[in-house]
Structure 1
Amino acid sequence: MRIPKTAFVFLFLHIFFLNFTFAQKLSEVDKIVAKYPKSFNTTEKLAQKIEKDFNSDHDRARAIYTWIALNIKYDYNAFLNPPKVRGFSYSSEAEKQRKIKQLNDDLIQKAFNSKKAVCEGFTALYQYLAESVGLKCEIIRGDSKTSLRDIGRKTTFSNHAWNMVLIDKKWRLVDVTWGQGYYDSSKGRMVNDFAPIYFDTDPDYFFAKHFPDSGSYLGTRLSKDDFLNGPLIYNKTIEKDYKIKSPESGILEVRNGEKLTFEIKNVSKSNQVFYLNKKNQPVKVQNAKEKRGGLEFQILYDNNVGEYITIFIDTNSIVSYKLVQKERI
């Protein structure tokens, strides 16, 4: 999980505007799992409880996601100070595989017993529990897009991991690490905030924020340029299905006095739309027009606009862009 050690204050303002309650975010499966004990004696007992309480593959996969997200916390200290990689020797392929399995089992049990993990522990535990209830599950490693500085990066990195789980003959995307909460840069710590949106996430949203090391998803090549140069979207964007129609690029070349045009689907004039200037002051959008099931509006680029611009809807950050001044001719 890639979490920036420093960041611009306005990127994280959405943290303070989470205006929905925990109960409102819970599905019926979540409500049942929320009443589970925070600790089980063994992973097998947790898997048995989930198998007993839920009949469908979907509900079991969701129950595992919810229990982990509610009870395993992101170990930010381990992220900052990762343990040394444990090496081992082996004399045969069978011995090698046994030792790899033992390391993986140790990782799973450490996450389960300590209630702390980084993304490797989250994904390994999710896969183990999913397979324990009869589900096919894989771990995918790749890049993650979490901060303004990720817009327009030159290359991808292998810095995160997530899962795919097979439900009703369809592979579903799951990021239980992000489901458990977020990093609050103003407090310098992780904040527990259950996010259902990273279970069975729409691939279009998922791959705006994730890029697998393989560069492909179910055999289809993904665009690395779209990932690196696309805008940064936020949790509320996914939750509310706010589709960012334009600009499609996250890097906008601008001149002073130029108007930037934005179009966002599934939002209307009843919503409050604003952005923050470079002094972190809110500026309300006044010229929004309803268009094709969304809003189209313009923002004047001048000296009051900073290097990045983040659009907010009803006090929730939705999308950010990087602004690059055009060279004068």
Structure 2
Amino acid sequence: MPQKKIALIFLLLNIFAINFTFAQKINEVDKIVAKYPKNFDSTEKLADRIEKDFDSDAERARAIYSWIAFNIRYDYNAYLNPPRVQGFSYSTEAEKQRKIKQLNDNLIQKAFNSKKAVCEGFTALYQNLAEQVGLKCEIVKGDSKTRLADIGRKNTSSNHAWNMVLINKKWRLIDVTWGQGYYDSNKGRMVNDFNPIYFDTDPDYFFAKHFPDSGSFLGSRLSKDDFLNGPLIYNKTIENDYKIKTPSSGIMEVKNGDKITVEIKNVSKSNQVFYLNKKNQPVKVQNPKEKRGALEFQILIDSNVGNYITIFVDTDSIVSFKIV
């Protein structure tokens, strides 16, 4: 075997081993933090415990994510009935900054003590704890994409917030608000469901569901059109690395008799792949083909197709498209 090929194989195996070891360590972090008390006397006490138990920046960043996700619940009532914005007067820039800091400190303490918050409280608490354990952390405000109606929206809005934390000289994307659970529209309430996928999320997946107010990430411009008009992806898409290779657009301009070609990475014929028609009946995809580590299939557009097509893999929703 040529020397270069041997070196490449060795490098790939080494990268795999490092990633596997890191994943194991992260899982151990979650197990340790799950045994922490729900209540600490102060954020300082919690930060001290995390610094004592964990050595690396990555473990400490994950421990903060896990503790918040395990213990702080999304305040859906506050989301529906937001408090009035607090105004204040000031005479100097120093006084302005002091009052902004006081408001932020109040937000952090309210989330920490009441165990309830909306995204602003989650992100402020995460930043506060991260900085206490020596991590550089920022809060990013922007738009989120979570519903079928979000496909093809005309404009973005500032309705969400998340964090970026510096680990091993690389900025990592974190959304601890989404890590703690989700809103179940059928039950009409929040469901506590710890989800690790929004810690150090792949930017390709993250920005399919988030768009910062700045329109950029680490100095690079992001495409607003791709965000607004791209397909809607789901948690299992990220968890299983189901990259949607085609179509790239979430809006399908079609007529009866047309066929949409779909290609999804890391899906095979052994998976059960189907979509729901407008009567919410499952329709299994026909004649799927395995192609370069992906599954390719076609969906016939007929009178049974509704305004949206959501594709499922083994009972999990993976991607949705808008039919025009």
- Pair 1:297 & 2:261 matched: no
Paired residue secondary structure (1:190): strand
- Pair 1:55 & 2:58 matched: no
Q: Which residue of 2 aligns with 1:65?
A: 65
- Pair 1:128 & 2:140 matched: no
CA distance in 2, matches of 1:29, 1:277: 43
CA distance in 1, matches of 2:271, 2:140: 37
Q: Which residue of 1 aligns with 2:239?
A: 239
Q: Which runs of 5+ in 1 are unaligned?
A: 1-23, 325-329
Paired residue secondary structure (2:253): strand
Paired residue secondary structure (1:236): helix
Output the amino acid matched with 2:31: K
Structure with bigger RCO (C-alpha 8 Å, 6+ apart)? 1
Q: What's the offset of the Cα at 1:73?
A: 0.3
Paired residue secondary structure (1:37): coil
Paired residue secondary structure (2:214): coil
Deviations 1:8-66 (A, max 9, x none): xxxxxxxxxxxxxxxx9x81110110111111111001000000010000000000000
Q: Which residue of 2 aligns with 1:162?
A: 162
Q: Which residue of 1 aligns with 2:175?
A: 175
CA distance in 1, matches of 2:286, 2:52: 54
Structure whose residues are more often helix by fraction: 2
CA distance in 2, matches of 1:97, 1:201: 32
- Counting only pairs closer than 5 Å after superposition, residues 128-277 of structure 1 correspond to structure 2 as 128-277=128-277
Paired residue secondary structure (1:178): helix
Paired residue secondary structure (1:200): coil
Q: Which residue of 2 aligns with 1:283?
A: 283
CA distance in 2, matches of 1:319, 1:109: 38
- Aligned residues with identical type, % of pairs: 84
Q: Which residue of 2 aligns with 1:316?
A: 316
Deviations 1:287-316 (A, max 9, x none): 111001010001111111100000000000
Q: What's the offset of the Cα at 1:189?
A: 0.9
Paired residue secondary structure (1:319): strand
CA distance in 2, matches of 1:155, 1:195: 29
Q: Which runs of 5+ in 2 are unaligned?
A: 1-23
Q: Which residue of 2 aligns with 1:119?
A: 119
CA distance in 2, matches of 1:296, 1:274: 13
Output the amino acid matched with 2:263: E
Q: How big is the alpha-carbon RMSD for the aligned residues of Structure 1 and Structure 2?
A: 1.0
**Which protein shows a greater Rg?**
2
Paired residue secondary structure (1:287): strand
Paired residue secondary structure (1:91): coil
CA distance in 2, matches of 1:195, 1:286: 33
CA distance in 1, matches of 2:219, 2:81: 35
Deviates more, 1:211-220 or 1:284-293: 284-293
CA distance in 2, matches of 1:305, 1:39: 50
Query: Please, what TM-score do these two structures have when normalized by structure 1?
Result: 0.90
CA distance in 2, matches of 1:198, 1:175: 5
Output the amino acid matched with 1:233: I
CA distance in 2, matches of 1:118, 1:155: 23
CA distance in 1, matches of 2:308, 2:267: 22
Output the amino acid matched with 2:305: V
Paired residue secondary structure (2:249): coil
Output the amino acid matched with 1:236: K
Deviates more, 1:153-162 or 1:89-98: 89-98
Deviations 1:96-151 (A, max 9, x none): 11111000000000000000000000000000000000000000000000000000
Output the amino acid matched with 1:273: V
CA distance in 1, matches of 2:314, 2:66: 27
Q: What's the offset of the Cα at 1:286?
A: 2.4
Output the amino acid matched with 1:61: A
Paired residue secondary structure (2:143): strand
Deviates more, 1:250-259 or 1:117-126: 250-259
Output the amino acid matched with 2:28: E
Query: Please, what TM-score do these two structures have when normalized by structure 2?
Result: 0.92
Deviating beyond 2 angstroms after TM superposition, the runs of 4 or more aligned structure 1 residues are: none
